[in-house]
Every structure is written in structure tokens, then in C-alpha cells.
Amino acid sequence: MADMDDDELLDALGVEVAPLKASNRTPREERIIAGFEDILRFHQAHGRAPQHSQSGDIFERLYAVRLDQLRKLPEAKTLLAPLDEPGLLAGPTSQAADVDDLDEDALLAELGVGDAAPTDDDITVLRHVRSSAEKRAAEEIADRTPCQDFERFQPLFDRVEQELKADVRKALRFGRDATIQEHDFFILDGQFAYVAEMGETIKMATGHQDARLRVVYSNGTESNLLLRSLQKALWKDETGRRLSDPDMGPLFGSEAEPDDIESGTIYVLRSKSNHPFVAQHRELIHKIGVTGGKLETRIAGADKDATYLLADVDVVATYKLHNLNRVKLEAVFHKLFASAQIDITIADRFGQPVKPREWFLVPLHVIDQAVQMIQIGSITDVIYDTQRAELVRTPEG
């Protein structure tokens, strides 16, 4: 028998081959469908739509927020109609609060909601929807095993306990924007937890940064888990705490110093200047300062002050703090972001050249992270990487 190619062989066998249809869906539509499929699987498993119940697990609450987002999208109802046999999209949009254990960025990242092509500021697009396998990997918390070299760590736990009793360290709530670094101490499930080792940074399929940790506990056990898993465990544990760095110094000390103010505000401003460089990078250029008075008074007349680029400003973030040292706090920010200080010259009201020094090319979420790190005492040995636009530990840190 003469050699036949694949098509001739199938034709001889009487097998009709229909050409594969190329998908004509956009990446946006594919993401929306993938996100809705997660919700459908939840409905199939539980017989109901995900709810905003405080007693529900984190994924149910996330799916509930995602479903609310989809119900607001007219295009989603049309696109998902063939899949929506349970009629989930017909329900009312809940007015319940979002998941309260995550800040906005973390929540949107978990939902897969964020800026995506073609519109950079469209936060209604679902992206980076994780497969079940990826979710299991992200949630993985390895079983605790006996720590074979615990004698190395016992003195550390003894010391940190004494430092807590002596008020050298503070046990602080693990905030929604708190970070985890190597050699940090926590309280988790009633045990001291020490981050003994941190592996190389892993970029997950979702776009998140993660890392494998070696965490040693004060009861003589250890676990090998992902950084994000530890974060989630600390968020969920009502008694979970982060222990402040004993070298934090008097920035937020208990005793007043000459430059201390009883209460104050860290403020972040964005300029409305029409300077070409500022206009091009407006969303990234910020002024960071501290005031013990009214912020409104501080920025009044900004359009006449070269310090404010001779333009009005928008207040994009404020943080209320108590018993802080204004001079030291401003110095911390300016040193941290020195590499990102913008270098522009403007003419003041009298035509004289002025170089404003307190404006930085830093994303707002990084400034927010820096504030949180200062509050919990983990800003030491951290620098701002201008290439990656993120805070990183120094090589010797």
C-alpha cells in the first residue's frame, strides 16, 4: 500500500476532520471567563453563590467580590451568558465591605483585578486568574518538623522574650501592608516564629513575588513554607503579631525629645505643575513631608511657592502618627528615596532658577510600604531599588 499522509489515511478510514477554530476572544475576555469559571466551581461544590460572610474562608469572600465586579460589567453578562446556567450574574451586587484582611493592592492582586491592556487604568479587568494547582501551591504551608539544630536558636528566643518584657521590642498587629524579611520575629499560634532563612525571590504565575522560607518556632519545630503563606497565616491569626526591631531608635519612642510632636501627619502630595517632566511622570512624582499642624495650612498658596513647583497640589495620602520625631522621620524618607530624587530646575516668581529637593520619582504604593515598615520597625537595612521600583534589603542586611 502506497504511503499515505495523515489526511489521506483519515479520509480512507472515513473519519471527518473539522478544522480547529481559532479563538477570536481577546485576552481580556479569556481572563473574564477564567475568573467566572472559579465562581462556577464554587457554586457546583457548595450549591450556592459565594457570600461576603465573615465566617467564610478567604477564597469564598474573594469570589464574592469578584462576582460583584462581574455583575457591574455589561460586557461580562453577554460574554458569560452561555456559562451562567445557575443565573449567578442576575443577582444583586452586594454592598458588603471588601475582604478586610487585605489592603487594596493585595485584594486586587488576589482577585486578579488590575491594570491591563488596552486601558492602563481599567481596574475592572480580571487578570492573572490562578489555576487550582497554583492556588494550592500559593497556600502551601509545609508541616512542621523537629528542628535538628534548635540549640542555635534557643538563645534568640530567650533574648527576644526578655526584650519584650523590657519593652525594648513591641508586639504589633501584623498590618495589611506589613512585610516579612529574613531574621524577623513574629508570634503565630501562640509561638514565637523566627525567619531563619529566605530563599531566592520567585516570580509566581500570578505576577506576585514570593520566596521559600525556613521558619523556626520556639517550641523546637520548624517549617519550610512560602512567604505569602506566612503572611496569610499572620493575617488570619487574631493573635498574630510582628515584633518590632530593637534598633528602631527614638523615632517613635516613649520619651519626648526636642523635635518630637505629640501627633502629626505624614503627607504625600502630587503636583499639578505643567512642567514637561512632571506632566509626563505625574503619577509617579511625589513630595513626602511631615507636619504637626493642619495640612491645609501647610499647602495653602502652593502655586506661589517654589517648594511646591509653583503649582497647586493634590493630597494623595496621609498617615496619622503619634509621638514622632519630625526631623528624624523626614530624614529617613529623604535618605531612603535619595536615589529617586528628581533633578529639575524651575524659575521662581522673580525669574530666579530654583531646584526643589523634596520631590521623588517613587510609586505611591512603595511610599505606603515604607510608612508601614517605619511603623513596625523594619525599615533598617532597606534601600529603594530605582530599577525595580521597590524596596529591597541591602546586601549586608
* Per-residue pLDDT, 12: 59
Mean pLDDT on 338-364: 83
Average pLDDT over residues 336-348: 85
Q: What is the pLDDT of residue 258?
A: 47
Q: Which of 271, 295, 290 lies closest to 361, judged by CA?
A: 271
What the block records as the C-alpha cell of 24 is: 477570536
Q: What is the pLDDT of residue 262?
A: 47
pLDDT for position 285? 93
* Mean confidence (pLDDT) of the chain: 75
Helix H, strand E, coil C: the string for 47-70 is: CCCCCCCCCCCHHHHHHHHHHHHH
pLDDT, tens digit, for every residue of 246-302? 644 444 444 444 444 445 788 899 999 998 999 999 999 999 988 877 888 888 888
User: In this predicted model, what pLDDT tens digit does every residue of 195-207 receive, in sequence order?
Assistant: 999 888 887 766 6
List, for residues 68-117, the tens digit of each pLDDT value.
888 888 888 888 888 888 888 887 766 554 444 444 444 444 444 444 33
Which bin fits 5, alpha (ψ -120 to 50), beta or left (φ > 0)? beta
Cβ of 154: how many Cβ atoms within 10 Å? 13
Q: How confident is the model at residue 322 (pLDDT cuts 50, 70, 90)?
A: low
Q: Which of 48-62, 66-80, 351-365 has the lowest mean pLDDT?
A: 48-62
pLDDT higher than threshold 70 for residue 36: yes
What is the percentage of the chain residues whose pLDDT exceeds 90?
A: 12
Q: pTM for the whole thing?
A: 0.38
Burial class (CB in 10 A: 0-12, 13-18, 19+), 93: exposed
Q: Give the helix ranges, DSSP H, for 247-294.
A: 276-280
Q: How far apart are CA 271 and CA 146, in angstroms?
A: 55
CA-atom Rg of the chain in angstroms: 26
pLDDT one-digit tens code per residue, 368-377? 888 877 766 6
- Which has the closest alpha carbon to 237: 229, 245, 247? 229
Measured from the Cβ of residue 80, the count of other Cβ atoms closer than 10 Å reads 21
313-325/382-385 β-pairing: unpaired
Secondary element (H or E) of residue 391: strand 390-393
pLDDT higher than threshold 80 for residue 351: no
What pLDDT digit, counting tens, does each position of 104-150 carry? 444 444 444 444 333 433 433 444 444 444 444 334 444 688 999 99
Measured between alpha carbons, how far is 243 from 183 in angstroms, rounded to an integer? 11
CA distances in angstroms from 165 to 24, 120, 187, 207, 226, listed in the order given:
64, 50, 14, 41, 30
